[in-house]
Amino acid sequence: MRIALLGGTGDVGEGLAVRWRRDTDHEVLVGSRDPERARAAAETYADTVRADAGDETAVSPEIAGYANEMAADRADVIVLAVPPYHVADTVDAVTDRLDEENVLVTPAAGMQRGEDGFSYHPPGAGSVAALVREHTPESVPVVGAFHNLAAGRLADLDAAMGIDTLVFGDDEAAVSRIVRLAEEIDGLRALRAGGLGVAPEVESLTPLLINLAHENDDLTDLGVRFH
């Protein structure tokens, strides 16, 4: 399978790229508006995976960098690893490269920072997932996942995961596909949370976790495990 990480030069993109390349045989495509930046990030991620394997002379892991449009065109699963305020523009830029065989995954959550910390601040559509759905062709399934993962922990291949991610969407086959893909990351458990309408409940967990990590020194890069 080919997985494209649009905006994959950021923290979340880095973490998912190195985890999937270490733990699976899927090919990872790093996307960016700047293809040179994407290629540089892909090589850095490949170096991380080689170093973790203890063989820095090994054949380069299958991580390649492209412009967002080309990455989406070549991929089976496309992850929108971009800030929420770039989601609509990113989808619009690649929409003609998508078809019903793809799954579009959104991990973004709208937030704002105030004096008391971060709070949930969804777009006018009601959630980032709803905004993605509005900008995505109807034939392309949209799935929410990976919202509650601390980027630092994800990118640190020495760190154990042992946490959950919530997966939601209206297309059952697409949700099942992303559940399987998520659980191929060692130590990550995927839990089904419902349809796209539950996006606000899931997305609003992200600012809560950031606040907890900020206020408690022993909870840096925390995650959630449901029992």
Q: Where are the domains of the chain?
A: 2-219
pLDDT of 218 reads 83
Distance CA 96, CA 115 (A): 42
Q: Which fold has domain 2-219?
A: Rossmann fold (3.40.50)
User: Residue 42 corresponds to which tokens in the numbers above?
Assistant: 């892909």
Tokens 């170093």 sit on residue: 51
pLDDT of 222 reads 85
Q: Along the 227 residues of the chain, how does pLDDT read in single tens digits?
A: 999 999 999 999 999 999 999 999 999 999 999 999 999 999 999 999 999 988 765 656 789 999 999 999 999 999 999 999 999 999 999 999 999 999 999 999 999 999 999 999 999 999 999 999 999 999 999 999 999 898 889 999 999 999 999 999 999 999 999 999 999 999 999 999 999 999 999 999 999 999 998 899 888 888 899 99
Residue (of 214, 217, 163, 222) closest to 191 by Cα position = 163
pLDDT of 58 reads 60
Distance CA 227, CA 224 (A): 10
The continuous run of DSSP H or E covering 131 comes out as: helix 128-135
Distance CA 162, CA 223 (A): 8
Global model pTM greater than 0.85? yes
pLDDT of 31 reads 97
pLDDT of 57 reads 57
